[in-house]
Amino acid sequence: MNAEWLTGRLCAGHGVASGKSNESPYPDGTIRMQSPVFKALGLDLSGCYFGTLNINFAPLEVSLANPDHLFEKLHWTELHPPETFSFWRVEIKASEADVVNGWVYYPHPETKERHWQPPTTLELLAPQLSGVEPGCTISLRDQRRRIKLVDTTRLRARLLEFLKFRVLASQQTFFEVDTLAKRQQWLAAMFPEALQLSEQDLDRVWAQARSLYTES
């Protein structure tokens, strides 16, 4: 059974990946500059346009796992500290146009100094598509189902409610041994859906549970 298509809307980006922004310190565009570095590591982007398609899925947020390529702490310019990048191979469809192969391009936000994307937005690399403009719909599909759209507001609320009686019963002992690894291990057994939340979201829910359900 084929994976489902995930559909969002094309939105304007920062103009840095393509070099179109007059304020960008990279007039050639970051993708053109980074491509030789990626190729040397085994990822050939020569069939892709030197710019990104920015797809917004708001209000849903994007959950990514198990990339095809992970390049850590790449030094690709003197103007920015080393960055970490992940890539997922996907199929891309714009309206009724033919399906093309492309990539999810994910510069890890924790290694970026500027030009971050919101968690509702993905950047795609693809051959140049005709007839696309901001506001049009773009769909992507990952046959390995590693890319999901998550209603994080609802999921955080459900997790908080799930924690309520466990914290009320245990009080501070619930939080005594609370590393990220142990938290994820516990959730994998008790509420695996919550593993779609980011580490920051989990921290927020745990802090809320401690504040709301433990005695001061």
pTM, whole model, 2 decimals? 0.82
Please tell me the total count of domains within the chain. Answer: 2
Structure tokens at 191: 């509420």
Give a yes or no: residue 101 inside a domain.
yes
The reply to whether 157 and 84 lie within a common domain is no
Give the mean model confidence (pLDDT) for residues 144-165. 95
Domain match, 156 and 84 both: no
Domain termination residue (choose one: 128, 149, 170): 149
| Residue 111 located in a structural domain | yes
pLDDT in tens, 45-97: 999 999 899 999 999 999 999 999 999 999 998 888 899 999 999 999 987 66
Do the domain assignments include residue 57?
yes
pLDDT given for residue 176 in this prediction: 83
Same domain membership, residue 133 and residue 63: yes
Shortest CA distance to 90 belongs to which of 121, 58, 123, 131?
A: 123
Please indicate, yes or no, whether residues 165 and 66 belong to a single structural domain of this protein: no
Measured distance CA(78)–CA(167) in Å, rounded: 49
Report the Cα–Cα distance between both ends of the chain, in Å, rounded.
Answer: 52
Q: What is the pLDDT of residue 29?
A: 81
Instruction: Report pLDDT for 167.
Output: 93
Q: Which residue has the higher pLDDT, 92 or 115?
A: 92
Coil/strand/helix, residue 84: strand
Q: Judge if 106 and 175 occupy the same domain.
A: no
Which pLDDT score is estimated for 131? Answer: 81
Higher per-residue pLDDT: 103 or 29: 103
CA-to-CA distance for 39 and 74, rounded, in angstroms?
13
Structure tokens belonging to residue 54: 């920015």
Supply the range of the domain harboring residue 179: 152-213
Whether 171 and 67 share a structural domain: no
